[in-house]
Amino acid sequence: MRTPSILPALFATVATAAAVVLLLLADQEWEVATMAGVAVAVLLGGMRLGWGETVHRSATAHRRIVTPVTWLAGAVAIFLLREHNFELLMLCTVMIFMIAGLGLTVQFGYAGVVNFAAAAFMGIGAYTTAVLMNSTALPHPVVILLSGLVSAVIGSVLLLPLLRTRGHYAALITIAFGILFRTFLEVNDALGGPQGLKVPGLELFGHAFNDAIEINDDVEWSFYLNYAAGALVVLFLAYELVRRIERSWMGLALDAVRLDETAASAFGLNGAAWKITAFSIGNFLAGVAGSLYATITAFIAPASFTFSDSLILVSIVILGGLGNPLGLLPAALVVVVLPEKLQVIQEYRFLLFAILVIAILLLRPGGLIPRRAREYPE
Amino acid sequence: MSTALLDATGLSVRFGGVRALDGLDLHVGEGEVIGLIGPNGSGKTTFFNTLTGFVFPADGRVTFAGEDITALPAREVAKRGIARTFQRLRLLLELSVFDNLMLGQHLSLDHGVWANIVARGGLRRSLEKQRETARALLRYFSDSLPDRLSEPAGSLTMIDRRRVEVCRALIRDPKLLLLDEPSAGMTPDETRELMQDLQSVKAERPALAVVLIEHDMEVIESVSHRCVVLDYGRKLCEGSYSEVSQDPAVRRAYLGVEDE
Amino acid sequence: MDLALLAQHALNGAMLGVIYALVAVGFTLFFGVLDVIKFSHGDVVMLGAFTGLATSIGLSSAFGSVPPWIAVIVITLTAVAAMALVGALMAKFLVLPLHKAPTLNVLLITLMAGTVIRESVRLFYPQGSNPKPFPRLLPDGAVNLGRLTLRFDSAILLAIGVIAIVGVHLLITRTRLGLAIRAVAQDPETASAMGIPFQATVLATFALGSGLAALAGVVNGLYYSEVNFSMGLLLGAIGFSAAVIGGLGNVYGAILGGFIFAALQTIGAVALPIASAYKDVFAFGAVIALMAWKPAGLLAERSAERV
């Protein structure tokens, strides 16, 4: 068979990056609406004409080139927005939601462990970061890692009830945990109560992220450029981690737990151990996402980590295509950027996302970009 | 009698008030093929479930290769070298044929973070080796299956699914293979073919012991060294096929219906 | 603590227990026939309360002053009928189509349906994001039995709740519909083989459960004289917890669970000298612990994994 051309993959990558930049820079509502319309048309048309398949084959055949190009395109997109504060902040939010979404992908998508408290685990990461940064001199990368770890460890409190129950019962446990977490924050004065906490800016090797970058007297780049670059690096690491998990024996074990734990145990698989692994990895990533969120927004409060926010995160994962990390980008764009850009729908966004998810579940359960069969490393 | 591999003594299982197994004894020697027959509800599958740690007996004992495995959960039993198929196929239909076989290989694979996430050279080598193993095993059962490793198991025909499920149980070279009605849902020809293929696998693994639940008496006659007949969770009789089929109690309880 | 105060708390607890039981019965009925939890159930309770509120406003603007007892009856019947319809529609268009899909999808679709209901009320009911006063339609007076005060409205609501619960019991045990529900819950395949229509029974069950939810919503509104769009989340979680305490699928377990949860809350509020925000923390903490200890509830039989 002839090797597919590299062009479709490169084109898709560059077009996606360009679309993201254009979407973020669009300041007229009709522009945003047009772009959303075009995106839907491309998606539907592409489905008919098998574009997804073409791009996929091209990307698979040239993975060694396409993968770095993709991340480079992301970096270029960020660089193009260097003077736009608000747009960069939005892009950071998109990336943070994607990191948390990667965590949920491992939990829901691979192991089939439900978690309707993802926002609460982000909150644990965020509050850990606030406390550690305000009261210790730990290097900030260490703080981010610790935030993820604390989130995973606190999550393990739920493991006993989660392992002993399944499906709907497990959902209730995480929902109850989310409600408890918020109540706890609101009555806890040491953590700022309902008013929340301030978070200092990130610092890395003496470089303060909150300082704008002065190029010369006339040109000044947004300080969010620091954060966007940092978030991209973390996103890259998280994405690689989740991809490699899926494309390895670990991914197979997790899938087996989700699809038929009983049958899998007949071949020696320890379902509980794999669920613990998945739940912890997912909460770790949510905690890291929350940590980044705290440093970028510089301020956190219980109201940012509610049950509705958890539902939003789950919506992203379902919308994108459960188990496919690639789908997180379009889904996060829809969920984060569209309401900001289209003020008309801002107020109605929870309603619209809920309807969207219902429609997806009924009509296209695989999501925008359905998960593909496992591709082991060649 | 050959060397004892599996010894079940006095197994009793109750579901609520029903006795699914009632003091059952069974001895399986190394390399033996045993046909397990009996009417529906006579406790055959429950017996398998008890051996493999899915159901725990109220009474009795199971020893395997000299070790007491009565109270071990399924995954521990698997480690000892007992593999099984399920009466209602339990392949992971969304996953590829290869992935399904690799579930059977679970205990032999390296699931460490280093090999799977960090330095993946080991994973690549292991993949190459496992693909070869999988193809070689499938080749006993079909000429076309080895080329369909990456297709979803759900796209296979019933007989191919059955074959994959049998291969999944065989791939880690178990000491004891439990086949729960492998002919269910297949035509007599397909069943005969599957049994012949199984016998050619068995010919190269003389130590492999097999317990086979089967309704088709011809199959039982052609493959098994010894037959055990269950009824109401009890052993009705035991012996060679010809002995068992002459037994008046068996003819009354079971064969009478089947002979016609 | 003296006896009168204790009795007062018991009375309040019983009031809560009735509301919770009405919600919990719905959860347990849905689980019985379809093995699903409808996570939007709490929001149906809320929507029922708002339907009642809207009806009462409509009544008084159309007919001026209406005798309160007529208003109560009209409000209740309208809310119950409307929610029964909503419940049946949700079953038909959201739950049944996903019947064979993974559990996760059913769970998500009902969660999202709850969000749709909640957000719709917030956005489209006039000033829906603020708490709304619910009309006081029941007599104000009270009788003093020693130092125990028995409010008439509480007594009436308690009676309504108990009558509804007894009604459900009779419906389940004495009618053809009840027989069909029990048969489908027992074994859907055998039930359809015996000529019991599966889909119709499921729809009727969802209508029944959702109607009870509406009743719970109206009773809740009349009792607290206030409703708000987000009350469903907590009531739903409580109702589900109550159903779980009793063992899902068991109607009497759900009723018992409702009273147990109310007792936990009352004990949390009375016996522990802490802020009232903690009473729910206490009750939910107890439920999480309970699920770790008895994953299938107190009254449920242990079901073996089908191999």
Q: Find the CATH number of the domain harbouring A106.
A: 1.10.3470
Residue C301 resides in a domain: no
Please check whether residue A65 lies inside any domain of the structure.
no
Name the token pair of B259: 């002979």
pLDDT tens-place string over residues C6-27: 788 888 888 889 999 999 999 8
B neighbours by CB contacts (3+ pairs under 8 Å): A, C
- Chain A positions touching C288 (Cβ under 8 A) are 158, 161, 173, 176-177
Name which of A358, A363, A364, A371 to mutate to probe chain C: the one with the most chain C Cβ atoms within 10 A of its Cβ: A358
- Ranking A143-152, A209-218, C187-196 by mean pLDDT, the lowest is A209-218
CATH code: domain of residue C215? 1.10.3470
Which amino acid, B156? L
Position C238 scores a pLDDT of 87
**Residue C194 pLDDT > 90, yes or no?**
no
Please state, rounded to an integer, the average pLDDT across all residues of chain A: 90
pLDDT at site B8: 93
Taking alpha carbons only, the member of A123, A14, A100 closest to residue A336 is: A100
Q: Which residue has the higher pLDDT, B124 or C270?
A: B124
Percent of chain C with pLDDT over 70: 92
| Segments making up each domain of chain B, as ranges | 1-81+174-260, 94-173
Are B15 and C305 in contact (CB < 8 Å)? no
Span A347-361, average pLDDT: 87
- The distance between the two most distant Cα atoms of chain A, rounded to a whole number of Å, is 70
- Using CA atoms, how far residue B8 sits from A241, B4, B27, B68, C38, in Å, is 46, 11, 6, 10, 46
CA distance C191 to chain B (A): 22
Interface test with C, best of B13, B18, B21, B54 (most C CBs within 10 A): B54
Give the closest-approach CA distance of B34 to chain C in angstroms: 22
Q: Which has more pLDDT, A89 or C62? A: A89
Residues in chain C with CB shorter than 8 Å from the CB of A262 are 305, 307
Using CB atoms, pick whichever of A108, A161, A171 lies closest to residue C288. A161
The C-alpha atoms of residue C23 and residue C83 are separated, in whole angstroms, by 13
Query: Does a structural domain hold residue A177?
Result: yes
- pLDDT value at residue C292: 76
Check if the beta carbon of residue A365 is closer than 8 Å to that of residue B144: no
Residue B1 has pLDDT above 60, yes or no: no
**Which of A69-78, A211-220, B120-129, C268-277 shows the lowest per-residue confidence on average (mean pLDDT)?**
C268-277
Tell me if A259 and B150 make a contact (CB, 8 A cut-off).
no
pLDDT at B260: 38
Nearest chain C residue to A161 by CA distance is C292
Q: C149 pLDDT exceeds 80?
A: no
Paired strand residues for B234: B231
- Neighbour tally for A121: CB within 10 Å: 36
pLDDT at C307 over 50: no
- The chain A residue lying nearest B48, using CA atoms, is A266
Q: Which of A8, A3, A14 is nearest to A69 (CA)?
A: A14
Could you tell me which residues come within 8 angstroms of residue B76 by beta carbon, excluding any fewer than 6 positions away?
A268, B53, B69
Instruction: Evaluate whether A88 touches A271 at the Cβ level (below 8 Å).
Output: no
pLDDT at A313: 94
Residue A300 is predicted with a pLDDT of 95
The span from the CA of A20 to the CA of A333, in Å, is: 8
Cross-chain Cβ contact C305/A262 below 8 Å: yes
Using a CB-CB cut-off of 8 Å, the residues of chain A touching C39 are 168, 171
B45: contact with C, CB 8 A cutoff:
yes
Dig out the tokens for C19 from the structure.
């509301």
- Determine whether the interchain pair A249/B110 forms a contact, defined as Cβ–Cβ distance below 8 Å: yes
Question: Which residues of chain C have a CB within 8 Å of the CB of B86?
Answer: 307
B15 contact C CB<8A: yes
Least confident of A229-233, B13-17, B29-33, C19-23: B13-17
CA A111 from chain centre, in angstroms, equals: 17
* B74–A contact, CB cutoff 8 A: yes
User: What digits encode the pLDDT tens for the residues A233-249?
Assistant: 999 999 999 999 999 99
Chain B residues in contact with C304 by the CB 8 A cut-off are: 15, 55
Higher per-residue confidence, C137 vs C303? C137
**Over the stretch C249-300, which tens digit does the pLDDT of each residue have?**
788 888 888 998 888 888 777 776 655 666 667 777 777 777 777 776 666 5
Interface test with A, best of B77, B80, B111, B168 (most A CBs within 10 A): B111
CB contact under 8 A, B92 and A245: no
- Which residues of A sit within 8 Å Cβ distance of C? 108, 112, 114, 116, 158, 160-161, 164-169, 171-173, 175-177, 179-180, 183-184, 186-187, 262, 307-308, 311, 314-315, 318, 347-348, 350-351, 353-355, 357-358, 361-362, 365
The CATH topology of domain B1-81+174-260 is: Rossmann fold (3.40.50)
Check: CB of residue A121 under 8 Å from CB of residue A313: no
For the segment A152-169, the average pLDDT, to the nearest whole number, is 82
Looking at the 3D structure of chain A, how many domains does it have?
Answer: 1
Confidence of residue A68 (pLDDT cuts 50, 70, 90): very high
Apex CA A158: angle with CA B71 and CA A124, to 5°?
Answer: 150
Across A291-304, average pLDDT: 94
Residue to mutate among A239, A250, A267, with most B CBs inside 10 A, is A267
pLDDT value at residue A249: 97
Mean pLDDT over each residue of chain C, to the nearest integer: 85
Contact between A256 and B90 using a beta-carbon 8 Å cutoff: no
Q: Which residues pair with B235 in a beta bridge?
A: B230
Higher pLDDT, C35 or A85: A85
Question: Is residue C299 situated within a structural domain?
Answer: no
Per-residue pLDDT band for C304 (boundaries 50, 70, 90) equals: very low
The dihedral over CA atoms of C134, C135, C138, C144, expressed in degrees to the nearest 10, equals: 70
Q: Per mean pLDDT, which range of B130-134, C109-113, C187-191, C301-305 is the poorest?
A: C301-305
What pLDDT score does A308 carry? 84
Residues 6+ apart with CB under 8 A from C145: none
The CA-atom distances, in angstroms, between C11 and each of A127, C149, C219, C287 are 42, 10, 15, 23
Domain that holds residue A195: 88-336
pLDDT for C241 beyond 50 = yes
Averaged pLDDT of chain B: 90
Residue B8 forms beta bridges with which residues? Answer: B26, B62
Inspect the interface and report whether the beta carbons of C307 and B55 lie closer than 8 Å. yes
- Mean pLDDT calculated for residue range B63-90: 94
pLDDT tier for residue A166 given thresholds of 50, 70 and 90? low
Q: For residue B49, which residues of chain C lie inside 8 Å, CB to CB?
A: 307
DSSP string, A88-127: HHHHHHHHHHHHHHHHHIIIIIII----S-HHHHHHHHHH
C37, two tokens: 């939890």
Domain that holds residue C61: 3-293
Nearest-Cα residue of chain A relative to residue B92: A259
With respect to residue A122, please indicate whether it lies within any of the assigned structural domains: yes
Q: How confident is the model at residue C195 (pLDDT cuts 50, 70, 90)?
A: confident
Nearest to B123 among A256, A374, A377 (CB): A377
pLDDT at C303 over 80: no
Residues of C in contact with A171 (CB under 8 A): 37, 39, 107
Q: Would you tell me the crossing angle of helices C231-246 and C41-63 to the nearest 10 degrees?
A: 130
B213-247 residue pLDDT tens: 988 888 888 889 999 999 888 888 888 888 888 88
Q: How many domains does chain C have?
A: 1
**Mean pLDDT, range C27-44, rounded to an integer:** 86
State which amino acid sits at residue A182. Answer: R
Q: Which residue of C has its CA nearest to B45?
A: C307
Residue of C305, C306, C307 to mutate for B, most B C-beta atoms under 10 A: C307
**Nearest alpha carbon to residue A364 among C105, C93, C34:** C105
- pLDDT at position B164 over 90: yes
For the ranges A183-192, A290-299, A334-343, C136-145, the maximum mean pLDDT occurs at A290-299
On whether the CB atoms of residues A355 and C116 are closer than 8 A, the answer is yes
A314: nearest CB among C108, C234, C292 = C108
- Within a domain: A370: no
Distance from CA of A299 to the nearest CA of C (A): 25
> In this structure, are strands B18-29 and B67-68 parallel, antiparallel, or unpaired?
unpaired
Q: ipTM score here?
A: 0.91
Q: What is the pLDDT of residue A197?
A: 92
pLDDT number for residue C152? 84
The verdict on a CB contact (< 8 Å) between A314 and C113 is: no
The most confident of the ranges A99-103, B188-192, C112-116 is A99-103
Among the partner-chain residues A116, A173, A183, the one whose CB lies closest to the CB of C288 is A173
Query: Chain B within 8 Å of C104 (Cβ-Cβ)?
Result: no
pLDDT average, residue stretch C193-219 = 92
Is the Cβ of B92 closer than 8 Å to some Cβ of chain A?
A: yes
Residue C306 has pLDDT above 70, yes or no: no
* pLDDT at residue C20, as a whole number: 93
Question: Is residue C307 in some structural domain?
Answer: no
Mean pLDDT computed over A265-282 = 96
CB contact under 8 A, B116 and A248: yes
Does B103 contact A270 at a Cβ distance shorter than 8 Å? no
